[in-house]
Amino acid sequence: MSDSSPRRTIAFDTETHLIAAGRLAPPLVCLTYCERVGDPKIAVGADMARIFRAWLEDPAVFLVCHNLTFDLGVLAHHDPSLLPLIFDALASDRLGCSQLREVQRCTAHGYGRFGPDGKPTKYSLADCILRAFGETMVGKGGDAWRFRYHELDGVDLEDWPQEALIYALLDAEYHLRLWLDQCADEFGGEYLPAQIRAAWGLHLMSCWGVRTDPARVAKLELAIEAQINHTLDGMTPAQFEDSGLPESLREAAYDGLIKYGIYRPNRKKDTRVVKALVTKAYNDNPPLTDGDGVSTARDTLEASGAPELLLLASVGQVQQIKSHYLKHLVRGTTEVLNARFTVIKETSRTSCAKPNLQNPARKGGVRECFRPRLEDWVFIACDYHVAEMCALAQVLVESFGSSAMADAINDGRELHIETAAGILGWTYERALNAYRNGDPQAKHARQLAKVANFGFPGGLSSRGMVSYAAGFGVTIAQDEAEELKTAWLDRYPEMELYFAGVADMVAAGHGDYTYTDPVSGYTRGGIGFNDGCNHPFQHRVSVGAKAAAWAVNRAAYDKRLGSPLYGTRPWNFVHDEIIIAAHRSKAAAAAAELSKVMTRELQIVCPDVRITADAHIMDRWYKDAEPVCIDGQLAIWTENGPVAL
């Protein structure tokens, strides 16, 4: 939608009961709206759905809200018959979100994450109003009416306290003022309709949510305590769990870390000691960060082989699971977990919290705790094959007219084997056959290829590769990392031009520059070299995957489309993967359609590179699950082997 469109612009807001567990769309109390600054209005009762329906049905009306998807969810829950109209309005770009527009505006100006003052940029309505107009909104305190509107549900407007009326009315007016101010900025409106559609899809995922398995969670709790508490004299976590030792030993691991000097007696970690131990473990040639500091990442610790660093890595990982996940997993045994997605980070990628479903621990059994909400339902996951490499190849074709990387993908060559062949100096066919036959040299080369393909495109130096490779269980020396980068660049020579182009833009901008994606129009300012290398292809994946998230959710909820996905419930979005829940009877058809939709949407923005997306069915969430068949039919992946649908 163009900001110069003759449509009527109406800002709206809702006041509701409080959000609660399993209830991200709480009961609606009032609807406020404003078409002209200074003239806000309020509606309650049956008028709320009637007025909102009329707006949705009128193609001349453009609706604006701050944190739009929450209010849409509230209205759809209040009157489910509004849901198809909401999908139609989103599809025709007739809904605007001032919060998402502000994120894009700030990102374009180079302070999407941190403002000019170095402080985190915030995007609540109050923060945006303060930034735009220098005005402090009233009524935002802990005892404000915004937390008390449930007290007024069903109360006649004439009996409302004046403060409650004023607060609700001013919010709608502030929404309109902020939107009009944003429209005066050349940045912020680009790519916004697609971001809003994706945000709605992610909000529906949050609203549906997920549950956890009580037995699995209890087992994980025991394992966590065992690993935190295990002693240093040879007892493994499994032995500790089976031993029945008392909780009085829970301090043993900390005592060991204190003994090594890694922790001070007050349990504060001494980073200088950790760096010294890393340096010693790597014979004075430790993995370094790109800033030339000694790496203390968990991968570096685990690859060191030093018992004190292995202990630190183990305790750190388990503590992270305990502090970031366990309380949510326990809560999920009795109530629905509604994780919260943030639709725009700086690259336009997403994030997730409470809990973070996009980056759970690779080890430790966290994923396996999640199960479908309903009986006889299963999970269906579909992820793109080397999505970022495909997007990078597309960017390379657009930039230089051709790409060896794109040629390999389009010829159906497995990209890690392609890179491994270059490392070994073999033909692709020889490397593929050797790998399939279990040749150790080919297997090692493919692992090297994997870390090269994932690490080098983002501008990672050979020095940084030493630490990065450790995360994949690959130990390489500095000179080996340099040889690896040379072999990788020889295989994909266009990357030299790519890196040089980014470096030139950084130099021309005296340290950073502004980039606008030629497909989406999304603009990001303040980009340095590494961000400049990563951003174009990461953003392109984000564009396609978000379009898929919108399409999948619409198909799941909009019966009019007649999709095999109708009635399924999407619940997780992991950057290049979508996970839905479905009844077993619908799972095979839904899996095929999920793969089709995801492939189609990323192919639209990567038209010159072959896109593939494979779906598989699981009885719970597994990291290593993949498609399995029984008698030629897609089956359910379980830890005990495939099970027929």
Whether pLDDT at 259 is above 80 = no
The verdict on residue 197 lying in a domain is no
Residue 465 lies in a domain: yes
Residues 134 and 218 in one domain: no
Residue with tokens 């305590």: 225
**Secondary structure (3-state) at 525:** strand
What pLDDT is stored for residue 250 in this prediction? 41
Q: Which of 117-121, 128-132, 599-603 has the lowest mean pLDDT?
A: 117-121
- Per-residue pLDDT at 234: 43
Helices (H), 92-244: 98-108, 125-133, 162-183, 192-208, 214-229, 237-243
Residue 525 counted as domain residue: no
Residue 483: the pLDDT is: 95
Give yes or no: residues 571 and 470 share one domain.
Answer: no
Are 299 and 426 contained in the same domain? no
Residues 425 and 323 reside in one and the same domain: no
Tokens coding 496? 């030299």
Of 285-294, 451-460, 605-614, give the lowest mean pLDDT range. 285-294
Most confident of 267-281, 313-327, 383-397, 458-472: 383-397
Weakest-pLDDT range from 152-166, 195-209, 263-277, 603-617: 263-277
Q: What is the mean pLDDT of residues 398-404?
A: 97
The domain boundary, picked from 519, 552, 573, lies at 519
Does 586 reside within a domain?
yes
| 411-444: pLDDT as tens digits | 999 999 999 999 999 999 999 999 999 999 999 9
Q: So what's the pLDDT on residue 281?
A: 81
What tokens appear for 137 in the block? 């909104």
Quote the pLDDT of residue 254: 60
Asked, for residue 357, whether it belongs to a domain, the answer is no
pLDDT of residue 3: 47
The average pLDDT across 35-57 equals 97
- Report pLDDT for 65: 98
pLDDT of residue 21: 75
CATH number of the domain enclosing 101: 3.30.420.10
Query: What is the per-residue pLDDT for 201?
Result: 98
For residues 46 and 170, membership in a common domain is answered with yes
Asked if residue 92 and residue 185 are part of one domain, the reply reads yes
Distance (Å, whole) CA 516 – CA 328: 39
Q: Does one domain contain both 175 and 45?
A: yes
Residue 301, token pair as written in the block: 């610790």
| DSSP bridge partners of 63 | 10, 95
Model pTM score: 0.87
The pLDDT confidence band at residue 227, using thresholds 50, 70 and 90, is low
Q: How far is CA 74 from CA 15, 48, 86, 203, 432, in A?
A: 9, 11, 12, 11, 53
Enclosing domain of residue 127:
8-189
pLDDT of residue 473: 77
Average pLDDT in the 193-198 region?
98
More confident residue, 272 or 59: 59
pLDDT at residue 546 greater than cutoff 90: yes
Q: What integer is the mean pLDDT of 577-602?
A: 98
Is the pLDDT confidence value at 241 over 50?
A: no
Residue 194 lies in a domain: no
Residue 536, number of CB atoms within 10 A of its CB: 25
Cβ atoms of 358 and 573 closer than 8 Å: yes
Sign, Cα dihedral of 16, 17, 20, 25? negative
276 in the same domain as 225:
yes
* 26 in the same domain as 116: yes
**Confidence class of residue 222 from pLDDT cuts 50, 70 and 90?**
confident
Residue 5 has pLDDT above 60, yes or no: no
**Which two tokens mark 578?**
């979508």
Q: Are residues 26 and 75 in the same domain?
A: yes
Q: What is the mean pLDDT of the chain?
A: 89
- Return the percentage of the chain with pLDDT > 70, whole number: 91
Domain check: are 431 and 568 in the same one?
A: no
pLDDT of residue 319: 66
Q: Are strands 95-97 and 61-65 parallel, antiparallel or unpaired?
A: parallel
* 245: in domain: yes
Rounded alpha-carbon distances, angstroms, from residue 307 to 271, 315, 567: 17, 12, 52
Count of CB atoms situated within 10 Å of the CB of 459? 19
Statement to judge: residues 22 and 155 lie in one domain: yes
Domain-located, residue 343: no
pLDDT grade, residue 589 (50/70/90)? very high
- Of 229-243, 538-552, 578-592, minimum mean pLDDT range: 229-243
Q: Where are the alpha helices (DSSP H) in 404-528?
A: 404-410, 415-424, 428-436, 440-455, 462-470, 478-491, 494-508
User: Across-strand partners of 614?
Assistant: 383
Residue range 6-36, pLDDT digits in tens: 589 999 999 999 988 778 899 999 999 999 9
The pLDDT of residue 605 is above 70: yes
At 246 the pLDDT is: 34
Q: How many domains does the chain have?
A: 4
pLDDT band at 255 (very low <50, low <70, confident <90, very high): low
CA distances from 70 to 22, 24, 349 (A): 14, 8, 20
403 CA to centre of own chain: 29
pLDDT of residue 309: 79
Burial 405-438 (b: 16+ CB within 10 A, else e): bbebbeeebbbbbbbbbbbbebebeebbebbeee
Core vs surface per residue 333-361: b (16+ CB within 10 A) or e: beebbbbebebbebbbbbebeebebbebb
CA–CA separation, 15 and 281 (whole Å): 59
Dist CA 535 CA 513 (whole Å): 12
Residue 243 confidence class, pLDDT cut points 50, 70, 90: very low
Residue 636 Cα to chain centre, angstroms? 26
Q: What is the pLDDT of residues 152-176, one digit of tens each?
A: 999 999 999 999 999 999 999 999 9
